[in-house]
Structure 1
Amino acid sequence: MKKGYRYRIYPDKEQITLLEQHFGSVRFVYNRSLFIKNLMYSKFKINVSEVDLNNNLTSLKELHPWLKDLNSQSLQHANRNLLIGFKNFFEGNGAYPTRKNKKNNKFSFQVPQNYQINLSTSQIYLPKIGWMKIVLHRDFLDKEFVENELVTKEVNGEIILDQKLNKKFDILKTLTVSRTSAGRYHASILIDDHVPEPELVEFDENTTVGIDIGIKSFAVLSSGEVIENPRFLKNSLMKLKKLQRAVSRKQKGSRNRRKAIAKLAKQHQLVANQRNDFQHKISMKIISENQAICIEDLNVRGMVNNHCLAQSISDVGWSEFIRKLIYKAEWYGKTIIKIGRFEASSKLCNICGYKKDDLTLNDREWECPSCKTLHDRDLNASFNIKNIALNNLNTAGTAGRACGLTDNGQGEEARSLSF
């Protein structure tokens, strides 16, 4: 099973310059390869392969000698990322690849091999850049596994894990270096421990929970639990406005403007970190307490087009929360069951099945005209999501057969079922 571990790194001034050169060079190679690939196909109907693009790097380095000072494997990986983008596009899993812009604040490059990690002093070595401090706040591999299964070297009494020495084990995969808009550098290590995914845990009605995610409450579970919406963005909105005004008042291109932009970026980073930490804790709690989770397949991209709700929807982060639920379910053998986005979860009485078509977003409670049951809108929706998901599952077949169902639009979600 593959997992990625992200750590904060602290380069010095010279290393920051080298990192920025790698970011820019990888972007340059990506854009140049995209131009070549589009040109060759539009003019001559020739499909340029990864080998052709990598061979072109030799002539590219002659035209631009500064490319020789950088890690050649990182430049080659830019071509691979481009071809992966084309593959995803033709498979219907992404948009057509476009040019990378240095103003989009997405800076990263890959180091496929030859990196080292000093486990004794918490330092990491990157080719062409050198050793720098890394905060290993958690182990990416068990210490016993490293001592017994991997090859380490000892230098001056320090234990160093070298990716090159362990290449045959194929455990230490690609390392990705990235920078956030707040100027923080991170290293993400991809690990493949070759442990197969756990078998799906059997579930029934008692071990299944339905989740209705919303804006007023972050999530309401069919068990009756209500998770309040922390509204991290709304709580920081006044400070963000103040910092944004400070940026607007500074002269463009000045040093004070750069300082003001950095303060604004750090505040945005704080909000993002708060939301991410909250979602990790909630998703882990839900996965640990239940064997199957029923959710709605929401059209979040379409919903944010409503300018009245766009900020609140973006603040709550539905898509990212569902993504966390799905991959954590894969880790622990749990099942995610999705129902269609057009199912009447809120308008349907979970007792008698009456459908209230005139229900609006402002109606937080409503009484069923048929059975006279007073419903909380969100709690009733969570009951219906669970019932609809289980009914669809029983209609499709037994639980064992249904776990083998796949959906073309959800190809990457091996353990989630969509109806």
Structure 2
Amino acid sequence: MSTDFVIAVHSHILQVATTDLDKAFQAFFRRAKAGESLGYPRFKGRKRFDSFGLKEYGNGFKIADKCLKLSGVGNLKVRWHREVEGQIKTVRIKRNAGKWFAAFACEVEPKSLPYSGEAIGVDVGLSKLLTLSNGESVGNPRNYKNAQARLRVLQRSVARKKKGGANRRKAVGLLQAHHVHVANQRSDFIKKIIFNLVSRFDVIAIEDLQVSNMAQHPTLAKGILDAGWGYFRSHLSFKAEEAGKTVVAVDPSYTSKTCCRCGQRIENLDLSVRWINCDCGASLDRDHNAAINILRRAGHARLGPTWGIGPVRA
């Protein structure tokens, strides 16, 4: 196979591609050592690449007159999402659903948010995306579930088109664009929730869930992926560190089944049972109960004399 085409490619693009390959193999060996599903890195021909990177500002790329100048390409008009802050270090150019995006990595001064002195426990779920230890909850928008009817129409449209034809490429583009739209809805919703949390609380306690393993559950997988548990966990940690706040991950065992008032474990508590009624008199939503236990396991039990937990309901 001829590799003459690489002569025209900037050396940093080739170096970044090699670094990406190295990361893929490191992840493969880490999964193999941990006994997880392996996913051996597949070979990618040049037509399968949807992104490339440049690692030194001024050497291969730079910004001039609100345009992005790329080596070998020239000046590109850019619809800027926001002003670039700090010192630009690298850029990653990515194609997604027929559109091109530029993601800049910049060195910026940390901007810590004001401290509140407050801590919160957070329980993630499917009926409600989040339940907080103070009793607040956030509904689950179910973006993918609500978009399934439209996605099925677009998938049938792709299936009816002749392979290799222009109409099929157009139909595939429409399908990809709708998937991107759903993903953007999910990420935007979660980012707004995270900003609210890191703005209000200094310590955020969550369960140390193995989301990748849970996402293989035959009945819960689609709901977990639609809810974006993994994205919430990773982005929360990133944004909390950026804001000078702390995320504590605790053991998730029996947080829902352990009474937050007396510590009694309620056995045989089916998932369909959404309310906890304990012999000690505590009566509350099981997700609220779990969130309080999560906060306690993180070492923050400042709940006050009253927890909003009513008596056992008749």
Structure 1 and Structure 2 fold alike (TM over 0.5): yes
Secondary structure of the structure 2 residue equivalent to 1:135 = coil
1:351 aligns with 2:268: no
Identify the residue that residue 21 of structure 2 maps to in structure 1: 82
Gaps of 5+ in 1: 1-27, 29-62, 143-170, 393-419
Identify the residue that residue 75 of structure 2 maps to in structure 1: 131
Tell me, in whole angstroms, the C-alpha distance in 2 between the residues paired with 1:285 and 1:242. Answer: 36
Q: Is the 2:133–2:291 Cα contact (8 Å) retained in structure 1?
A: yes
**1:388 deviation in Å?**
1.6
Secondary structure of the structure 2 residue equivalent to 1:390 = coil
1:175 aligns with 2:85: no
Q: Is the 1:211–1:222 Cα contact (8 Å) retained in structure 2?
A: yes
Amino acid at match of 2:273: D
Secondary structure of the structure 2 residue equivalent to 1:188 = strand
Amino acid at match of 1:351: R
**1:81 deviation in Å?**
2.6
Tell me, in whole angstroms, the C-alpha distance in 2 between the residues paired with 1:256 and 1:141. Answer: 41
Structure 2 matches for 1:366-381, cutoff 5 A? 366-368=276-278, 370-381=279-290
Secondary structure of the structure 1 residue equivalent to 2:103 = strand
Q: Is the 1:82–1:97 Cα contact (8 Å) retained in structure 2?
A: no
Q: Is the 1:86–1:96 Cα contact (8 Å) retained in structure 2?
A: no
Tell me, in whole angstroms, the C-alpha distance in 2 between the residues paired with 1:190 and 1:256. Answer: 37
For residues 326-348 of structure 1, the C-alpha deviation after alignment (integer angstroms, 9 at most, x for no partner) is 0111111111111113x211001
Greater helix share, structure number:
1
- CA 1:246–1:88 in structure 2 vs 1: closer, same or farther (change >3 Å)? closer
- CA 1:74–1:104 in structure 2 vs 1: closer, same or farther (change >3 Å)? closer
1:64 aligns with 2:3: yes
Secondary structure of the structure 1 residue equivalent to 2:150 = helix
1:268 aligns with 2:212: no
For residues 174-193 of structure 1, the C-alpha deviation after alignment (integer angstroms, 9 at most, x for no partner) is 2111111x111111111123
Secondary structure of the structure 2 residue equivalent to 1:215 = coil
Structure 2 matches for 1:191-202, cutoff 5 A? 191-193=106-108, 195=109
Q: Is the 1:85–1:96 Cα contact (8 Å) retained in structure 2?
A: no
For residues 162-206 of structure 1, the C-alpha deviation after alignment (integer angstroms, 9 at most, x for no partner) is xxxxxxxxx3212111111x111111111123x368699695xxx
For residues 72-128 of structure 1, the C-alpha deviation after alignment (integer angstroms, 9 at most, x for no partner) is 22112222333344455566799686234469976211112321212x4x2100001
Q: Is the 2:51–2:95 Cα contact (8 Å) retained in structure 1?
A: yes
Secondary structure of the structure 1 residue equivalent to 2:141 = coil
Of the candidates 54, 69, 81, which is equivalent to residue 111 of structure 1? 54
Tell me, in whole angstroms, the C-alpha distance in 2 between the residues paired with 1:106 and 1:306. Answer: 31
Gaps of 5+ in 2: 302-314
Tell me, in whole angstroms, the C-alpha distance in 2 between the residues paired with 1:377 and 1:232. Answer: 25
- CA 1:270–1:76 in structure 2 vs 1: closer, same or farther (change >3 Å)? same
Q: TM-score, with normalisation over the residues of structure 1?
A: 0.65
Percent identity over paired residues: 35
Tell me, in whole angstroms, the C-alpha distance in 1 between the residues paired with 2:92 and 2:171. Answer: 29
Amino acid at match of 1:99: R
**1:378 deviation in Å?**
0.8
Tell me, in whole angstroms, the C-alpha distance in 2 between the residues paired with 1:277 and 1:199. Answer: 20
Secondary structure of the structure 1 residue equivalent to 2:16 = helix
**1:355 deviation in Å?**
0.8
Q: TM-score, with normalisation over the residues of structure 2?
A: 0.85
How well do the aligned residues superpose, as a CA RMSD in angstroms? 2.8
1:382 aligns with 2:291: yes
Q: Is the 1:217–1:227 Cα contact (8 Å) retained in structure 2?
A: yes
- CA 1:131–1:223 in structure 2 vs 1: closer, same or farther (change >3 Å)? same
Moved more, 87-96 or 74-83: 87-96
Of the candidates 265, 274, 281, which is equivalent to residue 192 of structure 2? 281
Amino acid at match of 1:131: N
Amino acid at match of 1:356: I
Secondary structure of the structure 1 residue equivalent to 2:295 = helix
Identify the residue that residue 340 of structure 1 maps to in structure 2: 251
For residues 137-186 of structure 1, the C-alpha deviation after alignment (integer angstroms, 9 at most, x for no partner) is 212226xxxxxxxxxxxxxxxxxxxxxxxxxxxx3212111111x11111
Tell me, in whole angstroms, the C-alpha distance in 2 between the residues paired with 1:130 and 1:215. Answer: 47
Structure 2 matches for 1:221-260, cutoff 5 A? 221-260=132-171
**1:244 deviation in Å?**
0.8
Q: Is the 1:366–1:376 Cα contact (8 Å) retained in structure 2?
A: yes
Q: Is the 2:115–2:201 Cα contact (8 Å) retained in structure 1?
A: no
